[in-house]
Homo-oligomer: A and B are copies of this chain.
Amino acid sequence: MLAAPQLQAFNPPRRTLMGPGPSDVYPEVLAAQSKPTIGHLDPLFVGMMDELKSLIQYAFQTQNEMTLAVSAPGSAGMETCFVNLVEPGETVIVCRNGVFGERMRQNVERVGATAVVVDNEWGEPVSVDAVAKALASHPEAKFLAFVHAETSTGALSDAQSLCALAKQHDCLSIVDAVTSLGGVELRVDDWGIDAIYAGSQKCLSCVPGLSPVSFSPAAVEKLKARKTPVQSWFLDQTLVMGYWSGEGKRSYHHTAPVNALYALHESLRLLAEEGLEQAWQRHQQMHLLLRQGLEKLGLQFVVNEGDRLPQLNAVYIPDGVNDAAVRQQLLQKYNLEIGAGLGALAGKAWRIGLMGYGARRENVALCLRALEEQLA
């Protein structure tokens, strides 16, 4: 026998999480998650799942029947949209203005489809004009895919206009709302979004590991008309919906992550209690407070004012400042996490998150004071 490791229980410190996610989790959500596990086919659990579906619908502002949480993180939510809707040989217009647009492109290629990439600079929103041109010159395209809120840069794109354009060109829209859901205005039905995915660990302030998704009736029709099977068994929504449908008996697909779903239920319940519009306003107010303080410290935003996400503030690291050393000091001295730059912004920017439960005045104050002390 290989010997058993002798280890102590892990006791994490209490951090203030102001990076790009995971965000600070609501205390009520941590408590909900540790309630007793019950069976995933237990009638009481099934009732909780029905409530959860209505809560996800509210957060997305949709009446889409196919609305659920994928039992895995946001990148699995992204893959769920692509593998279910896109078939080999089809064309997808993919907008790339950061890490996650590039990830969409990789998903399209792994499906065996063709990605037509519309590039924008990192830090800029997706250009509606450039997308209009791409759609006009690619009449074979069946999808338009873009990131609503780019977590790698903090840029917000105009989802409403982009989805309207997609519709004009008979394309289905696939939207990444991982960082936008709960933090900025997002209206799935009003804007005509066809497939959308989010993450539990950003502005919902739930534990990481789940991905709320929703498919419009047109997307469901596309899924049902597939000529080839969905390449992923685990993410095949035609199978998963047998469990989530709520119409009569739920059939077993995979064992639901019971306790994580308790947590998601509680975080969305808290969002519904606050009200979506109130939550959007709160994020904006805290962003303005933070912005004022960061500008006083002489820090420059990566994104132009009109295109900034309130919940993800990317600022350039001042010349002569040691990126890693500052972040390490914040973590060790103040138990404060801010995010490093990612991709093209690695080593050049910090990403300061104000997400969900983390978008509070005490967090803004701590972050500004700690940065001031470390940059002095």
Decide yes or no whether A266 CB sits under 8 A from chain B.
Answer: yes
> For A72, what are the chain B residues with a Cβ–Cβ distance below 8 Å?
71-72, 76, 234
Mark contacts of A13-25 with chain B using CB atoms, 8 A cut-off: 1 yes-contact digit, 0 otherwise. 1110101011011
Contact B257–A73 (Cβ < 8 Å): yes
Mark contacts of A303-346 with chain B using CB atoms, 8 A cut-off: 1 yes-contact digit, 0 otherwise. 00000000000000000000000000001000001001010000
Mark contacts of A221-233 with chain B using CB atoms, 8 A cut-off: 1 yes-contact digit, 0 otherwise. 0000000011111
Contact B31–A75 (Cβ < 8 Å): no
Decide yes or no whether A281 CB sits under 8 A from chain B.
Answer: no
Contact A257–B76 (Cβ < 8 Å): no
Cα distance A130–B13 in the bound complex, in angstroms: 55
Contact A37–B17 (Cβ < 8 Å): yes
Cα distance A355–B73 in the bound complex, in angstroms: 27
Stretch among A132-140, A169-177, A201-209, A359-367 lining the B interface: A201-209
- Which chain A residues numbered 32 to 68 have a C-beta less than 8 Å away from chain B? 32-45, 48, 51, 54-55, 57-58, 61-63
Q: Which residue of B lies closest to A257 (CB)?
A: B209
Q: Which range holds the interface residue count of chain A?
A: 35 or more
Mark contacts of A161-183 with chain B using CB atoms, 8 A cut-off: 1 yes-contact digit, 0 otherwise. 00000000000000000000000
- Residues of chain A whose beta carbon lies under 8 Å from any beta carbon of chain B: 1-7, 9-15, 17, 19, 21-22, 24-25, 28, 30-45, 48, 51, 54-55, 57-58, 61-63, 71-76, 78-79, 83, 103, 106-107, 109-111, 189, 199, 201, 207-209, 229-234, 252-260, 262, 265-266, 269, 272-273, 275-277, 331, 337, 340, 342
Known: A2-B189, A4-B273, A78-B234. 8 other contacts (CB 8 A): A4-B272, A15-B42, A19-B39, A21-B255, A22-B39, A42-B331, A207-B260, A259-B260
Can you list 28 residue pairs at the A/B interface with Cβ under 8 Å? A2-B189, A6-B272, A9-B266, A10-B51, A10-B266, A12-B48, A14-B36, A15-B36, A17-B38, A19-B39, A21-B255, A22-B255, A25-B259, A30-B35, A30-B36, A33-B33, A33-B259, A34-B34, A71-B73, A76-B254, A79-B233, A83-B232, A103-B233, A110-B232, A199-B255, A201-B255, A208-B255, A209-B255
